[in-house]
Each structure stands twice: as structure tokens, then as C-alpha cells.
Chain A
Amino acid sequence: MTLTHQYAKQKAETVTVTKTEPDQFDIGDWTQTVGDPLLDDPRLSARNMDVFYADNQAIHNVSLDIGKNEVISMIGPSGCGKSTFLRTLNRMNDSIDICRVTGEVILDGDNIYSKSMDVVELRAKVGMVFQKPNPFPKSIYDNVAYGPRIHGLVSRRTELDEVVETALRKAGLWDEAKDRLDKPATGLSGGQQQRLCIARTIAVSPEVILMDEPCSALDPIATARIEELIAELSKNYTIAIVTHSMQQAARVSQRTAYFHLGKLIEVGDTDKIFTSPDHKLTEDYITGRFG
């Protein structure tokens, strides 16, 4: 595989990307991921990631590239490490005392785990949307304006108004919220709150948006709106989404990564993963068989 990304090139030799014969694959001796975890021109590259919670290893040597303007979904059974892996991509695990991370995540040529990395700045570049909508107990306007304000992205009120409107429009919430911008965000419905959280994330113009089960607390209509929004946002942003709904993964993403017991088992085009996956564990999971 040709890697044009400078850093990926240097690191390629430390990463195994050769395909494994699925039949010979044993989870106990796991060393390799089936499929192509590396891309030619990635937006974000995770290399040899290990994550430990105290003595317990939650992620085992995961290397994965996330492409530009790509939606990648991460699926796997509960406790497989998909959310943990997602959280390593903007250092959300830093807030957990017992959590230790090794390996590298490269964004714009820099390792986000290097000492010089400003975590606040990082999280503006790599935004996150959580399982349950978590608006601040402020007005709708202030929720969206919060990021641009603390990052000092705007100097004048009119400029801020513009940023808020653009973010709400992109999140598909403007028409519903424009007449009540000064009302508390908590008065919105669950689906609207989640779209507000997405608006809040994109207000700081991130490069990558991480979504951790963004629709699990929403009804089917609100879910469909978020999925529609993900498709729309992927024109401008790179999105990594963790989901328990395989239909959702199949609908919204171009690539799918399957995790099992902290290992990245298989990565591939979503179409391929859902019609003819190569690895037996992937097949068993997405078809609802015993592990």
C-alpha cells in the first residue's frame, strides 16, 4: 500500500496491514486486522493504540486511519472498546485517572498525545457528540455561542450572531429555534437538543466530529433527522460514529470497523462488511449469532 501521508509513511513499517486468512484467525493469537485499516490520505491516524484501565487492557494495538470527509462507523458488542477507542481520538480518556494510553494519534501531522499539544485546542478540532443530549443550562443561543466565545473565534456580536445562525442551519435546527434563541435549551425536545449539541460542536469549525451513539436516546423520526444531518455534514467534516444500531452503521457510514474484546478485527467498506464480511467474528456479530 502506498502511503502518501508523511507520518503514516514513517510509521507504516511498525504497523501490520497484511490480510489474514479469516479461517486461520484466532482471537487468542490476534496480531492483525482483516481489511485495510490504513488509507492513502487520512485526516486522522491512530497508530498502535493500547489503552489500559488500571491493569485491565481495553484496547490492544489498534491502528486505524479515518479519511477526509468520510463517515466511519465503529461497531461491536458491549465492552469491545469501540467507545474507548473513539475517546482516545480527542483525549477524552485524560479525565479518567486510572486510564493509561500508549500509541499515537496523528492529526495535521502532530501527535495529539505529545506534551506540547493543547488539549482545549485539540477538542475544538476534534469535537464530540454524546449518547445523551447534554445542552448547557443556558439559552439556545449561548449554547452555540459558548465555543466560539471561549476560543476567541469572534470579536463582534454581529459576527457571533452569524456563527450561531450558520451552525444552527447546518445542524438543521435554525427554522425550529430562530424565534426562541433566548429560551433555555433544556426546553427543546430530545432530538432538537441533540441537534443543538451538534450545532454547538460545529460552531467552532472542527475538522473531525466524534459521535458516541448519538441516536440511542432518540425516537425513529429524530434518529432519521440526525442520520440525514450526518450525511449532510460529511460534505465538510470527517465523522467517526460509534453505534449499537447496525442498520444505522449501514445507512450512514462509508467504512465500518468491527471491534471485539478490545481488538480491531475487521475494517472495510460498509457495503462489503454488511453483505460479505471476511472475518467470522464480524459475520457472527452482525448476523446476531453466538460469539
Chain B
Amino acid sequence: MDKSHFDRHTSAQYNAELEEARKNLMQMGGLVEQQVEDALRALMEMDSALAQRVIDTDQTVNDMELEIDEECTRILALRHPAASDLRFVIAVTKAVNDLERMGDEASKVAKHTLELADTGSGPQGYVELRHIGEKVRQMVSQSLDSFARLNTDSALAVLQQDQAVDLEYGTAIRTLVTTMIEDPRTITRALNVMWSLRSLERIGDHARNVAESVIYLVKGQDVRHIKLDEVEAQIRKK
């Protein structure tokens, strides 16, 4: 299945409607990707102005979610899509939901950044934040790329990265807990870092969901809640 697959309907209007939904999803994806990237940069550089911009962008992302959902509802009502078209509309609806949640989490990171900027900077947890943040940013980018190219290998890679991020997240939380026990004065700061890490980890989870939607769209297989090697087997099938 490639992108041209969706341009071949007898009804040109139908082609246009699906293309419009796809285009808007990609646009929303680009916006959220930028939001995640900006939230990370604002955090690393303690840039309050940039953090505020991330929070402000969230409204646009929310509006896009409503708009694309409405488009999908219209397609479902008027076109009664089946097979790959049905999977496409379902995948778009789900991906839009995940992207909106990613936007919310990026805003949360930005809010914690503002609080961290108020309490003054400190080094605890920054290495972990940078490391996990960079991985998560890549996951978001790759999940959107796999949707655009309908590439299941790339989607699988996102699922693999999510597992790595989850592991690193666990380690980072343990380190922060140790810091808090050793020096209770760091608790306020450490909590903000912890919540930011939590948001980043959630963004990774949503990127994973988008990647799973891509596999469902292309392969017709629901790969949620199954082990990674089973997902790989599903993808390699046929």
C-alpha cells in the first residue's frame, strides 16, 4: 500500500476528502512535533518565552483535533468507507487524538519549565531529561513519518524505542527519588523534573499509539497489547 492507493476512487470528490484529512493530520503532526521540540528546548535553555509559546500553541492543536474529527465523521456518514479506507479513517481519528494528547503533555512540560525557571536552575535530572527528551522527539517524528509513508518497519522502530524509553524513565525516576531522600531541599525542583519526565514518557506512549495505528492501517492487524516480537511477526506476515 502506498499513498497513491488513496487516490484511485471512482469518485474524485472522495479522493479529495481523504486527501484533505491526510493533509490536515500531517499539518497537525508537524505542529505537535514543533511543540514537543520547543518544549524540550525551553526546558534545556530555561527559556520562559518559548515555554509560553508552547502553551499558547496548544489551542491551535485542539482546534485542529476538532476539525479533523469532524472531517472523519463526515466521511463515515456520507461515504461509508470500507476496508483500507475504513482503516484509514479510524487510524486518522485515533492519531489525531494521540497528537492532541502529545500537545497537552508538551504544554505540561512547558508549565513545569516556567515553575523551574521561577525556582532557579539546578543540575539534577537534566541529563536524563535531555536524553529521554531527544529520544521521544525522534519517536514523534518517526511515527508521523511512518504514517506519511505508510511504512510499517518505521512504525515498528517506534515501538522498539518506546520500550527503551520506558526503561530509561524507570531508571531516571529512581535516581531522582534518591536525590530527594539525600537532600529534601531539592524536592520541589525534583518533582518538577519528575513530572516533566513523566510527560515526556507519555508523549512516547502516544507516539507508540500512532505507530500502532499505522500498522493497523497498512496491515489490517490490531497490534495493541501484544509483545514486540509478535508485532514483528504480524508485520512480516505476507
Chain A residues proximal to chain B, CB less than 8 Å? 21-22, 246-247, 250, 273-277, 282-284, 286-290
Contact B220 A275 (CB under 8 A): yes
Query: Once bound together, how far apart are the Cα atoms of A290 and B4, in whole Å?
Result: 12
| B195 within 8 Å of A (CB atoms) | no
Closest to B10 in A: A288
Contact A276 B87 (CB under 8 A): yes
Task: Given A21-B238, A275-B220, check contact A286 B83 (CB 8 Å).
Answer: yes
List 17 A–B pairs whose Cβ atoms lie within 8 Å, in order of A's numbering. Answer: A21-B238, A22-B238, A246-B80, A247-B80, A274-B82, A274-B83, A274-B86, A275-B82, A275-B220, A276-B219, A283-B83, A287-B84, A287-B85, A288-B9, A289-B8, A289-B10, A290-B8
Report A31 CB to chain B, min CB distance, Å.
19
Contact A276 B238 (CB under 8 A): no
Chain B residues near A289 (CB-CB < 8 A): 8-10
| B30 within 8 Å of A (CB atoms) | no
Contact B81 A287 (CB under 8 A): yes
Query: Once bound together, how far apart are the Cα atoms of A275 and B87, in whole Å?
Result: 7
| B126 within 8 Å of A (CB atoms) | no
Chain B residues near A286 (CB-CB < 8 A): 82-83
Report B233 CB to chain A, min CB distance, Å.
17
Report B222 CB to chain A, min CB distance, Å.
10
Closest to A286 in B: B82
Contact B82 A287 (CB under 8 A): yes
B residues 65-88 in Cβ contact with A at 8 Å: 80-87
Closest to B81 in A: A287
Query: Once bound together, how far apart are the Cα atoms of A128 and B84, in whole Å?
Result: 34
Report A272 CB to chain B, min CB distance, Å.
8
Chain B residues near A247 (CB-CB < 8 A): 80
User: Which of A22, A246, A273, A283 makes the CB contact (< 8 A) with B84?
Assistant: A283
Chain B residues near A287 (CB-CB < 8 A): 9, 81-85
Chain B residues near A288 (CB-CB < 8 A): 9-11, 14
Report B103 CB to chain A, min CB distance, Å.
30
Report A224 CB to chain B, min CB distance, Å.
16
Chain B residues near A277 (CB-CB < 8 A): 83
Query: Once bound together, how far apart are the Cα atoms of A21 and B238, in whole Å?
Result: 8
Query: Once bound together, how far apart are the Cα atoms of A22 and B83, in whole Å?
Result: 15
Inter-chain pairs besides A21-B238, A246-B82, A287-B84, 5 sampled, C-beta below 8 Å = A250-B82, A274-B83, A275-B83, A284-B8, A288-B9
Chain B residues near A273 (CB-CB < 8 A): 83
Chain A residues near B10 (CB-CB < 8 A): 288-290
Closest to B86 in A: A275
Most-contacted residue by chain A among B8, B11, B14 (CB, 10 A): B8
Query: Once bound together, how far apart are the Cα atoms of A283 and B80, in whole Å?
Result: 14
Most-contacted residue by chain B among A246, A275, A290 (CB, 10 A): A275
B residues 48-106 in Cβ contact with A at 8 Å: 80-87
B residues 1-57 in Cβ contact with A at 8 Å: 8-11, 14
Task: Given A21-B238, A288-B14, check contact A276 B9 (CB 8 Å).
Answer: no
Chain B residues near A246 (CB-CB < 8 A): 80, 82
Closest to B11 in A: A288
